[in-house]
């Protein structure tokens, strides 16, 4: 017998409709890539997004068509998100930091019909458009004065000007595709994760719980995590739902620029990758300043060094929550929050609502949740992928419907997750696993270290041994022995790196993570 409740499909347009109706005057602040600050509110975002929907419909965009965006965080980008998804089309976010050949491959695989881009991304467009025959129109998220003469693009402001804002949103099933995001393709071709309205809706609500992101309508949210990076961790849905003031920083994410926005806008909450928090911390230390309104940050995308979290919490009184997830999980899977975060810790925390986890050994057998036993981390849930776009015939789930994350981890009796490595990065020495992440975190605490990375290198006796690679802070100098001495007592003796190598720059991937594939190529098999 079905329940006697109203039919209310969980479609993403409801987030912005709610914000317009009940938080319409709440401010949305946007910094252009060139530096100018613009201000609007949720009512403005809603009206302009519907005007954009009309432009898409008049072009002939229909449900399930893919519309790509190549842009940083801005009010126009937010409008485009809702304008695309509101009519049942698929918002395909492209990462401007990917190589041009990979971007072109992704656009072609998705068969995008339109592409919206920041003016800053015009050089990228010129590289990829000749290789992308499916693209029918280019819309620059700009006004007429910013249009280059040789691109054949239309200005976003001109395209939506004068259009009606009464476009009907929703009116389709909640399992309709809403967003498309490709993995970075560090091994093999990138893989498309196709989100549904329902999955993103439930994920967005889950993030608002007190022990996840936990902000409210009283907060000012600085969305540092890019909108092209796994749904901006749900911020573009959660902030309108809560009625929080939303600050969108554009492409300028250096320490000085981030601090300026935080202070001028009264930011209380922010989320981003560790490299951004390291840059901000270096600015605070160098300039002897401190944030006056910031209360909490969430760090994710890669492991946050303990020294980084400790400094923010103990010196500046800012709570740092460490999160873990992946594109295939929409993306948040766990968050380390109070009371587990009473002191800085490296654990990734407990599973958020709508996520289940387990560990298995190499043979697929259960691994005990004792906080010590390593296993392959597998997940399932309402916002976890069951297949990849246009690869539906490939089974990515096991017999029980679990998705293998590719991470090696431990779980303790209380459900606290600790990621020890990616399966492809784990170092197997003498038949035992060594966690490169734990060594990296210990080395990163050295006062002279800007970044630290650990990779496995071949060893005649042990199979593999860890090599520590260090990027020093500007002006610093150090010896290998100085770092080895520093690690004494911080890691197991048999984990001690075989050697220490100093480099000018540790390469980062398109999402801000250390690119170990490039490190291995440079160190183990240099050209």
Which sequence positions are flagged as catalytic?
183, 328, 428, 433
Beta sheet of 463-472, edge-to-edge order: 449-459, 463-472, 499-503
Strand partners, 319: 296
Closest CA to 384 of 334, 327, 423: 327
Compute the Cα dihedral for 163, 25, 89, 80 and give only its sign: positive
462: CB partners within 8 A, 6+ apart = 429, 430
Closest CA to 248 of 218, 256, 232: 232
Segment (H or E) for 502: strand 499-503
For residues 246 and 227, what is the distance between their CA atoms, to the nearest angstrom?
A: 13
Strand partners, 502: 470
Q: Where are the alpha helices (DSSP H) in 208-297?
A: 235-242, 255-265, 274-287
Compute the Cα dihedral for 336, 340, 345, 346 and give only its sign: negative
Q: Are 59 and 116 in contact (CB under 8 A)?
A: no
Compute the Cα dihedral for 173, 200, 99, 153 and give only its sign: positive
Q: Are 292 and 261 in contact (CB under 8 A)?
A: no
Mapped onto helix, strand or coil, the DSSP state of residue 474 is: coil
Question: Within 13 Å of residue 168, how many CA atoms lie on the same side as its CB?
Answer: 4
Q: Are 340 and 314 in contact (CB under 8 A)?
A: no
């Amino acid at each position: 017998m079905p329940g006697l409740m109203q039919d209310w499909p969980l479609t993403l347009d409801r987030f912005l409709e709610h914000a317009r109706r009940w938080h319409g005057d709440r401010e949305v602040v946007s910094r252009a890539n060139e530096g100018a600050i613009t201000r609007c509110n949720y009512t403005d975002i809603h009206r302009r997004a519907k005007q954009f929907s009309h432009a898409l419909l008049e072009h002939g965009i229909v449900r399930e068509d893919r519309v790509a965006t190549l842009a940083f965080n801005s009010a126009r980008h937010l409008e485009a998100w809702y304008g695309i998804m509101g009519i049942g089309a698929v918002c395909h976010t492209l990462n401007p930091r990917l190589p041009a050949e990979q971007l072109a491959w992704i656009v072609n695989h998705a068969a995008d019909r339109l592409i919206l881009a920041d003016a800053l991304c015009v050089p990228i467009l010129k590289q990829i458009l000749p290789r992308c025959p499916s693209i029918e129109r280019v819309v620059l998220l700009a006004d007429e004065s910013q249009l280059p003469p040789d691109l054949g693009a239309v200005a976003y402001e001109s395209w939506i000007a004068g259009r009606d804002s009464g476009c009907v949103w929703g009116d389709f099933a909640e399992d309709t595709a809403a967003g498309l995001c490709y993995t970075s393709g560090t091994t093999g071709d990138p893989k498309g994760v196709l989100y549904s309205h329902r999955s993103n809706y439930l994920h967005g609500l889950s993030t608002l719980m007190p022990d996840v992101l936990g902000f409210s309508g009283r907060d000012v949210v600085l969305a540092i995590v890019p909108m092209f990076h796994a749904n901006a961790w749900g911020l573009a849905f959660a902030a309108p739902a809560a009625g929080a003031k939303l600050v969108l920083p554009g492409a300028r994410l250096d320490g000085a620029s981030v601090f300026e926005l935080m202070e001028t806008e009264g930011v209380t909450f922010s989320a981003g990758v560790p490299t951004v928090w390291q840059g901000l911390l270096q600015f605070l230390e160098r300039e002897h300043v401190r944030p006056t309104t910031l209360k909490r940050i969430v760090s994710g995308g890669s492991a946050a060094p303990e020294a980084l979290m400790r400094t923010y919490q103990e010196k500046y009184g800012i709570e740092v929550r460490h999160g873990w997830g992946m594109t295939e999980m929409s993306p948040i899977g766990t968050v380390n929050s109070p009371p587990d975060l009473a002191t800085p810790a490296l654990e990734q925390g407990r599973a958020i609502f709508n996520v289940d986890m387990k560990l298995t050994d190499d043979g697929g057998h259960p691994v005990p949740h004792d906080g010590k036993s390593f296993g392959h981390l597998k997940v399932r849930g309402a916002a976890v992928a069951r297949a990849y776009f246009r690869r539906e015939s490939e089974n990515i789930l096991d017999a029980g419907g679990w998705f293998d994350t590719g991470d090696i981890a431990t779980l303790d009796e209380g459900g606290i997750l600790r990621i020890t490595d990616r399966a492809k990065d784990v170092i197997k020495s003498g038949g035992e696993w060594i966690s490169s992440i734990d060594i990296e975190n210990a080395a990163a605490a050295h006062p002279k270290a800007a970044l630290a990375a650990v990779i496995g290198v071949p060893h005649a006796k042990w199979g593999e041994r860890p090599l520590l690679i260090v990027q020093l802070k500007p002006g610093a100098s150090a010896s290998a022995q100085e770092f080895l001495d520093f690690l004494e007592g911080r890691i197991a003796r048999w984990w001690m790196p075989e050697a220490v190598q100093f480099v000018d720059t540790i390469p980062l991937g398109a999402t801000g993570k250390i690119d170990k594939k490039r490190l291995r190529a440079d160190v183990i098999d240099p050209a």
